[in-house]
Amino acid sequence: EDKVVQSPLSLVVHEGDTVTLNCSYEVTNFRSLLWYKQEKKAPTFLFMLTSSGIEKKSGRLSSILDKKELFSILNITATQTGDSAVYLCAVGVNTNAGKSTFGDGTTLTVKP
Amino acid sequence: NAGVTQTPKFQVLKTGQSMTLQCAQDMNHEYMSWYRQDPGMGLRLIHYSVGAGITDQGEVPNGYNVSRSTTEDFPLRLLSAAPSQTSVYFCASSFTRDSYEQYFGPGTRLTVT
């Protein structure tokens, strides 16, 4: 059974802090790892990673994948209150379904 | 371009009632899926479709039916609602089954009493 585990489950920081969110996975037929941000509504796409060691960056957010150790991290630097959200990690597997398996998410709260 | 739309936004059902959650997308995406999200948990796949006329079960299909008669629409039917189906339901779509980036609708919050 495919499995995606995120840690920590929740995190409270103050504005300006840097945070690292973790995602480990055990799946067959790995194709990609995706990060989404969910702010009380629908998840919105952040990054898709398919190759080890190549950092993806968007503003203060960055992410990297390690396919040997089967994990990914999402870094957020200089956090702002607007970064408060649930961050979901999903792994896409190569089956006829092309389906994604989601982790339970990390709830990040950024205090002013 | 509306993206992925879902109706209704909220629904309260009594145990045993049936209903259909509507989902539509205007991006000509082949792949569509339904997820449920329970408090403190991630998204669990209910059913998915890789194209018009083709559907299959995900992780938690019991109590739900789907059909895909057009590329745009992918309704989810609850056959006989149970309190365990109280959840937030998201519809999502992507270009093809190999395009793992999914676009999500705004969700339907369903309560079964």
**A-chain residues near B96 (CB < 8 A):** 98
The pLDDT assigned to B2 comes to 80
Mean of pLDDT values over A28-34: 90
Contact A31, A95 (CB under 8 A): no
Tell whether the model's pLDDT for residue A98 goes beyond 70: no
**Residue in chain B nearest A6 by alpha carbon:** B42
Decide if B106 and A31 are in contact by the 8 Å CB cutoff. Answer: no
Measure the CA–CA gap between A22 and A52, rounded to whole angstroms: 15
Q: Which of A38, A94, A106 to mutate to test the interface with B (most CBs of B within 10 A)?
A: A38
Cβ–Cβ contact A102 with B under 8 A: yes
pLDDT digits (tens, 9 = 90+) for B9-64: 999 999 999 999 999 999 999 999 999 999 878 899 999 998 999 999 988 999 99
Nearest CA in chain A to B59: A101
Residue B42 is predicted with a pLDDT of 86
Residues of B with CB below 8 A from A41's CB?
A: 106-107
Q: Cβ of A102 and B42 within 8 Å?
A: yes
Backbone angles phi, psi at B78, to 5 degrees: -95, 120
* Partner-chain residue, chosen from B41, B48, B104, that has the shortest CB–CB distance to A97: B48
- Nearest residue to B24 (alpha-carbon basis) of B77, B81, B87, B91: B91
pLDDT of residue A95: 66
Burial class (CB in 10 A: 0-12, 13-18, 19+), A28: exposed
- Given this model, what pLDDT does residue A79 score? 98
Q: Which residues of A touch B42 (CB under 8 A)?
A: 4, 6, 88, 90, 102-105
In this predicted structure, the answer to whether residue A97 has a pLDDT above a threshold of 60 is: no
How high is the mean pLDDT of chain A? 93
The 8 Å CB, 24+ separation contacts for A75-79 are: A75/A18, A75/A19, A75/A20, A75/A21, A76/A18, A76/A19, A76/A21, A76/A108, A77/A18, A78/A16, A78/A18, A79/A13, A79/A14, A79/A15, A79/A16, A79/A17, A79/A18, A79/A19, A79/A108, A79/A110
Confidence of residue A51 (pLDDT cuts 50, 70, 90): confident
> What region, left, alpha or beta, does residue B5 occupy, with left being phi > 0 and alpha being psi -120 to 50 degrees?
beta
Tell me what pLDDT residue A82 has.
Answer: 96
Average the pLDDT over A35-44 and give the result: 92
Tokens found for residue B109: 């919050």
Name the pLDDT band for A96 (thresholds 50, 70, 90): low
